[in-house]
Amino acid sequence: MYSFLEPGVSYPLPKTFSFEDYIDTERELWALFPETDGKRVNFCQMGLTAQIFVESAESGDLESNETYFLMPCSDRALRPIRMRAIRRLTLEEFRMSHITAIRLADKLAGTGKVMEAIHMQIMGPEILDGC
C-alpha cells in the first residue's frame, strides 16, 4: 500500500552498465559501516537526519523501519530492494556516505531514460505535464 512501485518490478539497465564497478563502490559503504555485514546497503536523508539501511529478509507488509530502494542487481536490472533502517548517521558519517553516493551515481550515469520512465510511472503524466 505504501510502496510507489510494485516490489517485483524490474527495469533493464543499459548494456554499458557494469554491476561489478557499481558493487565495488557500494563496498565502500560496507567498510564505513561494518554493522551492515556485507548486505546491500543504502542511506537516506530524512529532514535534517539520515539513516543507514540494509537489505531485509522480511516479507509481507512493510514495517515502520522499512522501505524499498531501487538498486542495481547483478543481472543488470534495477529492482526495488526491501531494506530496514539500522541506525541514524552522524553528520560526519553522512558526509562520507554522500561522497560515496556521488561515485555510485556516476556508475548509473547511462540510466537516464530508465530513471525518467520510473519517475513518469510514479508521478504520472497528469502531474508532470502540469510542471
- Does residue 1 fall inside a structural domain? no
Whether pTM exceeds 0.95: no
- Does residue 68 fall inside a structural domain? yes
- Does residue 3 fall inside a structural domain? no
- Does residue 4 fall inside a structural domain? no
* Close Cβ partners of 4 (under 8 Å, ≥ 6 residues apart): 122
Q: Which contiguous run of DSSP H or E holds residue 28?
A: helix 19-32
- Does residue 48 fall inside a structural domain? yes
- Does residue 53 fall inside a structural domain? yes
Low-confidence ranges of the chain (pLDDT < 50): none
What is the grid cell recorded at 26?
A: 557500494
- Per-residue pLDDT, 130: 64
Domain that holds residue 26: 14-128
Question: What is the total count of domains within the chain?
Answer: 1
Supply φ then ψ for residue 88, to 5 degrees.
Answer: -80, 155
- Does residue 32 fall inside a structural domain? yes
19, 68, 112 from 3: Cα distances, Å? 25, 7, 22
Give tens-digit pLDDT for 2-12.
Answer: 789 999 999 99
- Does residue 7 fall inside a structural domain? no
- Per-residue pLDDT, 131: 58
Whole-number mean pLDDT of the chain?
90
- Per-residue pLDDT, 124: 84
